[in-house]
Structure 1
Amino acid sequence: MSVPAGAAQPDAVRRKVEAWLAEPEPTDAIALKARPEPLPEPVLTVGGTQIRVVPCPTPLAARAALHDRVDGERLVLLTELTDEELGDGILAHLSKQTVRKIDPWDVVRQVFGGVRHLDPTLVGVGRWVADALIDHAPPDGWPAPPGAVLTRDHALRSLTSELLDLSPTELDDSGLVQWSTDARRQLRFTTLSETIAEGVTTYLTSTAGRLAVPVMAAVRAGHGVDVIPLGLLAGLLWPDGADGPGEVEAAIGRTRLEPWFGGLRLTPQQAGALHQTAEAWVYRTFDSGAEGREEAVRLLRRAEVIAAEIGVTGLLGASTVLPSGFIQRLRAFADAVRLAVPAGGAPVPGMVSRAQTTLAAVEAHRAAERRRLETARMAVRLLRWLHTTDGPAPATLLDALNRQVRQDGWVDRARLDVFAGDPDPQVADAYRMLHRAVDIRRARHDRQFADLLAAATDGEAEPGALIRVEDVLDRVVQPVVDAGRRVLLLVLDGMGVAAAIELAESITRSGSWVELTHGGGPRVGVLAALPTVTEASRCSLLSGRLAVGGQQAELKAFRERFPTGRLLHKKALRAGAGAALDPEVLTALGDPATPVVAAVINTIDDALDRSDPGTAVWSQDTVTAVGDLLAAATDRVVVIVSDHGHVVDRGPESVVLPSDSSENRWRPATGPAGDDEVTVTGSRVLLGGGSVVLPWREEARYGPRKAGYHGGAAPAEAVIPLLVLAAGDDLAVPGWAGAPVASPDWWREPVIESASASASPGIASPGRRRPRRPVEPQPEGLFDLTPATAAPAPAPASREPAVSDLVAALLASDRYAQRRDPRAPLADDRVAALLSTLIAGGDRATLETLAARSGVPAHRINGTVNALRRLLQVEGYPVITVDPDGRTVHLNRVLLTEQFELEPR
């Protein structure tokens, strides 16, 4: 309750009476210096004693009050009269025969437990503090100060804590913003006088920073619960840096936002502090669990509503947390993708860089939806692939198969995400354009593969280094057994190269399993039998020869090939309640006398009929049988293959071709092949009398519509992935070694272009494109007896001569020679390759890029980088560092030059 100046504060009167009654033998009346106005409660009860408070403007009124006092009652006379004006006759009946002053600071000492001294800076704040401390003292009293002096901070912290219903330890920026979310706790503050509210706000500024002013202004204006949404918008309306194209909209928005703060116009510093704390609250609350996420999302949506009310929705793209900001960034990214995919051909180089830049903005958004973000990343990868030069057509079927394993299978993986698309029409349109451009190039590759497949099959060509499905047992499994290792052969029915890429990543991610390749060379693939259906290709795989049949035929043939082996189909893998695997399966896996255990896993093939293989991520989480079997077979070398791959249904883009058969992707050769088909004849054609027509175009089919299909001549169907794994031992099989990074350059490395090319929105001149790194020759023979040595990483085409001079100077320096570890030295050529890669990438590179460019097996790159750090870290200076993400390595070139006393370059 507001009390006029000079009037008695009710609580001050009560506190003064309490002190009076505590005196030895108090009199029956006391006179207090105050304006003679009635109190809200004229009769007080203190400690069981009734005290009547009487306003006495004149001596006569004072005399009447004393005369009318009843026995047992005590009086408090409120008067502005002096002792002389009252006279000795009245003073004789009063305590200490004088009119006492109500010194609020005396009362403050009392309410703080009788503290003896006051901090002068507290008194200097003003009378309002004393009045507020008296009027708003909690029932249990104020907390006693830690010493004999009541300090300014202790008094104001106690008062503010009480008025805000907030713990003293929470009077900081994060505590104040959290307090703003509770409307109930704000109510008391809104009823305070202007003086107290301003005083409390001033104190909060010293504890919570600049944001206290806008927070408390919003509370007093009735918008306290919107403090966090308003703070999120403040970062957009008071942006850092120079004025941008949205400055006019921001200026209008700032004006329209003033009423939300009671007419206060925020300073840039206040807006910045409020924005930072609001965003921090969102991050913290969003990560606190389901309930916190729900609350954070509610306030994010509220911020967007306010943005619409003040007309600044066009600025939301600059926000890193608002959902609409993510959509706007994603649309800006889509615009960049659209520009990078002109209708007539390959993307414009400068526009690919722009797409990469806009993708970084999408990735920086905290509310980014994981699936949509991943699709955007795949879109950029496809742009980079389109940016590479499409080389000459493969000369052999092996060349075409290797292209599917090492390049086009990765394209297929990314293309599936882009085909699945985005719910936003603007983004979907850009993805549609990109997918169409990728399809044009992929269709050309598919046709080349199909033509080579038909020619090799018709000519009964010798396989040479090419592994056919019927050769897997002899050329992959048997050599491992001959080396003394037992094998777990996993046959994932329907798994193509794209799915195998995902599966391999999920298996090797933890480091428990290491991928092996022969001689440490690149991944290879296997050619399926024709047509690419289960009864032909899987039976041939498990028989070790060309054969057609179902499960019984497979079991019989596998038993003949490995008499002590074990083949498990879906039914045999099933277990009872509580068990992931049947006990007999576990027994077979652990039996030293069972050299080969083969398991057929139908998860992917089943999805072609009853699920959506185009959107599934094939990993140990989605193909659970793989993880279960791997967990039980850590002492076996694991070989993962399939019988064929698959293509996904293209929906309205599908083309239904005429056929006398009900098969989806093959027909008997009763008529000539059309433009989308190829005729295949030979001993490896196991159905249709040895001659069939297969579609090579993925959109084509014959039979009823399903989620996916197989049987045709597209490399996505005919190329079988081959993965060999060992539990943490890259020397498990003689002649095999840890696999190099499998991904192609465009998958992991951004396009780096000149500033002029990136800035130009038009067609770049031919000389602006960065030269591609020459493709390293790969050995064609899978089982060459001599392990391949890693070729030194070629110098990046755009590297300046000074870079090689710097590396050469390092390797020749005395300090470098002194620091080399004689027990396990890091080879100079490897050091040169690692540093050259870092320097070419602007002093940074991902671990995968370092591994690929320096010839280090993928699973050893962490150890290699650690060895490089130890070698170059003179006196603890961090020449080499790794980002917190654990993926990106940085070189401090200045420190490198200083620590090894090299000439500055």
Structure 2
Amino acid sequence: MAGGLWRGGHHQFHRRRGAVLMALRPLIDRRIVEALLETELRRAADCRLLLVNARYDSTAPTEFTARIDGRPQPVRVTDQDSVLGIVAAWQELLDGAETELLLVVTSDVPAAVLGWDVRAHAVGRRILSVDRAEIVKQLFGAADLDPRMIRETWLLTALLEAEPVDGWPRSGSVLTRDDAVRALVGERLGLGRGSAGHLLELDTNALLAWSRTTAGPARFRELPGAERDGLTTWLTDTVGAAAPTLLSLVADGRGQDAMALGVLGSVLSAPEAPAGTSFALGGLFGSSLRSVEDLPKFTASVIGTLARWIAEAEVSTPAGAEARQRVYSVLDRADALASEAGLGQALRVDPLLPSGFRARLRDLAAALPDSSKAAEAALDQVLAHQLARLHPASCEAARMAVRVVRWLDGPAPTAESVGQAVHEQFAQWGWADRALCVLAAGDPMGDPVVGQAYHLLIGSARARRSTLDEQFAARLAGWTRTASSQAPGGALLIEDVLETLALPMASGTSPLLLVLDGMSAAIAAQLGDEIDRRIWTEIAPAPQAATPPRRHAAVSMLPSVTTISRASLLSGMPTNGKQAAEISGFEIFWKRHRRVGRLFHKGQIGGAEGHRLAPEMLEALAGDDIVAVVLNTIDDALDHGQEGERTSWRLRDISHLLDLLNAARGYGRPVMLVSDHGHVLDRSPHGQGPLKAPGAQSARWRTGEAGEGEVELSGPRVREGGGTIVAPWREDIRYTPRKAGYHGGAALAEVTVPVIMLVPSQELMPSGWVVLPNEQTVPAWWRAGSDVAPAPAETEKPTARRPRRRAEEQAGEALFAAGEVTPATLTLGGKVVGSQRYKTQRKFVRRPPDGKAVVAVIDALAEAGGKLTPDAVAAAAAEATGRSQRNAEVFVTVVQRLLNIEGYGVINLVDAGRTVELNIPLLQEQFGTEQP
């Protein structure tokens, strides 16, 4: 059996006894004995004696049952140092009653001394020697072994000791060192096995996660030193340079804190770390840090793994929640260790620790009273923190706080007229209401310092809003006495919305009118932001004067309650009534215009089980009738207290809204989103009851004489109280028990009726209407980078609202007319279009756009920081040339062919086509221009 699993006694043995001979014999245990029996008894099934040149582990059992070829077999092991002892043990076995008992004798007695009379009964008729490499090969079912393993005693011994109950995995004809150690790591460290048919996959992420467990690190600490060193070396080569420091921490019993220490190590060793904090590293890591050079590699791995966990934690799933728990268990521990080491103050601005995030929020709170610039800088620091991704609500509140500061930093707005004030409520002030609604809920992290800063900011903003409401109420009182469709006083009346806006939309194809009961300007602004601009294009009537197009807002009937305003909206005339009156009025209005109108209310919209919409609804949408649908979600939320808990409204929050929008798109219908009135939220202090006043008819209107915070309204538009009512303009006044919100009063948020008009294709845009880019619906102070809000347009006289002489128009005169213009007057767009490179490129583009349009596009993108929506790009070109671009995406594609010389991405469509991005440095390089 030369070269076999067990080699005969061909070695030279010394006859000396004692320690020297003991050292020569390999130490074996029960597992090796079982492997011996499993292999050798197949060749000598009738033998009951096994002689082994080895010594048996004194701590191992001497009698046990082994499974040989699947059958239980009793085994006795004895260690003998003389011929007499071996013979006596064998004779004892023969004299015993157990005929199935197998005897294994470990000894150093040479075969020649033992004699043939005993050896004749032994397996193989000889004394077997132990070859660990051959055993390992057999255990893995391999024909050959990686030669490097034969020299690594620690590895062979460990593989023998750690063999799992169901055996080692079969890895092919040749057992490589990598496969063997990988299998050993899985068993020794408690990492388990890979998937079926595959070995364990290891990376830094898996090893760091393992370090935070209990059983695995404990197993590693109990391993012999040689095996720990061997596994560390292999893991360093396989996983990366983070392994030495990590395993050193584990060996020192600090595995649970390894990742937390890695976070602190990253912070304290950073160049921007406070002076002197680097000395804290020694105390934190102690003797676990073998080399200073190892630290950056370890900390980089920890930070990288945490970044992956943070990304996983952003998802609202059980797996995301588990990842979030992992992230915070590490980072909270890092904060605790820093505090114990007296480093809390030094790490307050750290970009990863929770304490750093809280500190940045407090810095923002401190900056809010200073200026919008200081607040924006502090907000940038909050959003740059890595944990900002896990606190979207806190970040949203911080953004809203800065937006409110920008609004307050601007010139104080005024309500000059009812029409102007209602328009500005939708265009500007309602956005402030939207921000204040988020801020009113407070910071979700509950920091009292941040909460107090928000409270003070809300107070300042509400004072401005209250002033506007008071001014508006005074204008409303005078306007209401004579206002009518024949004399609207510059305002769009709710009863004229169908005539003014819906009727032109119906000139090409039948629109879908969605009446969102109770939708305020603030909610309309949120829903408008939610609209997918790749699917829907917002449109508006072309303005009469040289002003940008704008969204429209109407004035509700008075009091601003559903039974008056909604009936008037749907009937196209001032009226009162409930659903029957609305249906009749809607049908009559469209009959006057030779069309059929169909109105659907709550209960007629949803379909049966398995259907999103009712068959009657789908039938109406598929036809040519004008269809209107009343959606009550917002008003119901106010009535039942749900609005008080939410800080935002999304399209999916309105029952059936997304289904109806999808259906309208499918049937090629334009859509109008319109309200019947707005609302105010409950602002009354906790415990304050309703105002005790005579003549209370509803939550927000009554009869009698006006008091503080109220206004008397009378005239043809007042449809209750005999034509005269008292309505509060202050938001904290109510006459009925508490609810989440109210309507019927004289505040701007209640009287303003927002309107948003959409088409699924620009081909459906009515004649004389234009695209309304999203950028033109958002106030300047809402966008990041705006220092202050612009002066409100309502304070300017109509004759003064002339567009400034655009630089691109001046450039156009020089480029496309006979006049001469000095280079100093050229904008970036003008310089590009005036360059020789552009003129050459233009020759290769079929039907290139007008040069003025290209100038306007480049300058608009440059002014916006390099990004705009396709609609905004097309609108800039249309404004410069006076010609509308019917298809924004096609226009952008043509501009791309002009500017993207040799395929370089000067201008690109990104975000799945939702954004046009201009690479300004590349543009300057390609066309040889300089920064204007």
The residue number in structure 2 matching 1:204 is: 235
Among 174, 184, 193, the residue aligned to 1:166? 193
- Alignment partner of 1:329 is 2:357: yes
Instruction: Name the residue aligned to 1:816.
Output: 838
Q: Which residue of 2 aligns with 1:401?
A: 422
Task: Tell me how far apart the structure 2 counterparts of residues 609 and 861 of structure 1 sit (CA, whole Å).
Answer: 43
- The within-5 A match list for 1:432-447 is 432-447=455-470
Residue in 2 that maps onto 1:765: none
2:602/2:631 contact within 8 Å kept: no
Instruction: Report if the CA contact (8 A) 1:793-1:853 is conserved.
Output: no
Work out whether residues 245 and 290 of structure 2, in 8 Å CA contact, stay in contact via their aligned partners in 1.
no
Q: Which residue of 1 aligns with 2:780?
A: 746
CA distance in 2, matches of 1:859, 1:616: 37
1:836 — aligned with what? 859
The answer to whether the 8 Å contact 2:807/2:826 transfers is no
Which residue of structure 1 aligns with residue 641 of structure 2? 611
| Residue 759 (structure 1) aligns with | none
User: Using the alignment, how far apart are the partners of 2:509 and 2:50 within structure 1?
Assistant: 104
Deviation at 1:525, TM superposition (A): 1.1
Q: Secondary structure at the match of 2:538?
A: strand
The residue type equivalent to 2:693 in the other structure is S
Match for 2:556 among 524, 528, 544?
A: 528
Partner of residue 751, structure 2: 718
Task: Return the offset for 1:196.
Answer: 1.3
Equivalent residue for 1:489, pick from 513, 520, 528: 513
Q: Pick which of 574-583 and 855-864 moved more.
A: 855-864
Q: CA separation in 1, counterparts of 2:599 and 2:44?
A: 100
Per-residue CA deviation, residues 238-294 of structure 1 (Å, 9 max, x unaligned), is: 3276465777788658745669x799998232233134225424644775942x345
For the 8 Å contact 1:321–1:366, the answer to whether it is kept is no
SS of residue matched to 1:825: coil
- Is residue 2:575 matched to residue 1:547? yes
Q: Distance in 1 between matches of 2:283 and 2:724?
A: 78
**Which residue identity is paired with 1:808?**
G
Aligned residue in 1 for 2:27: 8
- C-alpha distance in 1 between matches for 2:424 and 2:324: 46
Change (3 A) 1:523 1:791: farther
Label 1:500 to 1:70 Cα distance change in 2 as closer, same or farther (>3 A).
Answer: same
Q: What are the Cα deviations for residues 291-310 of structure 1, in whole angstroms up to 9, with x where unaligned?
A: x3453344345436644753
Q: Which residue among 323, 329, 333 is the counterpart of 1:296?
A: 323
Distance 1:105 1:59 in 2: 29
Distance in 2, matches of 1:25 and 1:459, equals 117
SS in 2 for 1:599: strand
Scaled by the length of structure 1, what TM-score is found? 0.79
| Superposed CA offset, 1:333-391 (max 9, x none) | 254244323xxxxx5143222233134136852321x4443333222222222233335
In structure 1, what is the equivalent of residue 672 of structure 2? 639
| Deviates further, 91-100 or 674-683 | 91-100
- Partner residue of 1:761? none
Question: After superposition, where does 1:22-101 map in structure 2 within 5 Å?
Answer: 34=54, 40-41=60-61, 55-57=79-81, 78=106
- The Cα shift of 1:811 comes to 1.9
- Tell me the equivalent position of 1:518: 541
Provide the secondary structure at the position in 1 that maps to 2:785.
coil
C-alpha deviation, 1:830, in angstroms: 4.2
Match of residue 438, structure 2, among 417, 428, 431: 417
Deviating more after overlay: 47-56 vs 469-478:
47-56
User: CA–CA distance in 1 between the matches of 2:803 and 2:512?
Assistant: 28
Distance 2:385 2:747 in 1: 34
Structure 1 portions without partners, runs of 5+: 342-346, 753-768, 782-787, 796-800
Preserved contact between residue 401 and residue 525 of structure 1 (Cα < 8 Å): yes
Distance 1:152 1:867, change over 3 A: farther
What is the distance in 1 between the residues matched to 2:330 and 2:526? 39
How far apart, in 2, do the equivalents of 1:811 and 1:240 lie? Answer: 52
Which runs of 5 or more structure 2 residues have no equivalent in the other structure? 1-21, 544-548, 810-822
TM-score, scaled to structure 2: 0.77
CA distance in 1, matches of 2:725, 2:94: 122
**How far does residue 70 in structure 1 lie from its aligned partner after superposition?**
5.1
| Distance in 1 between residues matched to 2:169 and 2:580, nearest whole Å | 85
2:407 aligned with 1:385, yes or no? Answer: yes
Distance 1:250 1:241 in 2: 6
Once the two structures are TM-superposed, the CA of residue 523 in structure 1 deviates from its matched residue by 0.6
CA distance in structure 1 between the aligned counterparts of 2:179 and 2:685, rounded to whole angstroms: 73
CA 1:876–1:552 in 2, change beyond 3 Å: closer, same or farther?
Answer: closer
Say if 1:106 and 1:26 are closer, same or farther in 2 by CA, change over 3 A.
farther
Q: Which residue of 2 aligns with 1:231?
A: 259
Question: Alignment RMSD, CA only?
Answer: 4.9
Q: Quick one: which of 122, 127, 135 aligns to 2:153?
A: 127
**Per-residue CA shift, 1:637-690, capped at 9, x if unaligned?**
33332222111110318896663221356656743x455333434333333343
Distance in 2 between the 1:737 and 1:190 partners?
73
**Post-superposition offset of 1:476:** 2.4
2:60 partner amino acid? P
Return the offset for 1:320.
7.3
Identify the residue that residue 655 of structure 2 maps to in structure 1.
Answer: 624
- More moved, 701-710 vs 520-529: 701-710
Q: Which residue of 2 aligns with 1:350?
A: 373
Q: Distance in 1 between matches of 2:683 and 2:229?
A: 66
1:471 is aligned to: 496
Contact 1:166-1:179 within 8 A present in 2 as well = no
**Secondary structure of 1:365 counterpart:** helix
Contact 1:190 1:219 in 2 (8 A): yes
Superimposed CA distance per residue, residues 601-650 of structure 1 (whole angstroms, 9 cap, x where no aligned partner): 33323333222435264444232243444444434433332222111110
C-alpha distance in 1 between matches for 2:133 and 2:825: 75
Aligned residue number for residue 426 of structure 1 = 449
Give deviations 1:104-162, integer Å, cap 9, x for gaps.
4454455555645643x4445x32122223333456665566566x5432332333334
C-alpha distance in structure 2 between counterparts of 1:436 and 1:479, whole Å: 43
Q: Percent identity?
A: 31
Q: Secondary structure at the match of 1:540?
A: helix
The answer for the alignment partner of 1:153 in structure 2 is: 178
Structure 1 residue matching 2:694: 3-state secondary structure: coil
Who is 1:599 aligned against? 629
Cα 1:253–1:555 shift into 2, 3 Å:
same
Deviates most, 553-562 or 489-498: 553-562
Deviations along 1:866-902, one digit per CA (max 9) or x if unpaired, are: 5554543333433345666977765444433444455
CA contact (8 A) 2:520 2:752 kept: yes
Residues of 2 paired with 1:709 and 1:67: CA distance?
Answer: 104
Instruction: Call closer, same or farther: CA 1:789–1:57 in 2, change over 3 Å.
Output: same
**Quick one: distance in 2 between partners of 1:68 and 1:434?**
97
* Stretch moving more, 825-834 or 199-208: 825-834
Residue 736 of structure 1 is aligned with which of 762, 769, 780?
769
CA distance in structure 2 between the partners assigned to 1:702 and 1:849 by the alignment? 46
Q: Distance in 2 between matches of 1:402 and 1:837?
A: 25
**Whole-Å separation in 2 of the counterparts to 1:581 and 1:459:** 44
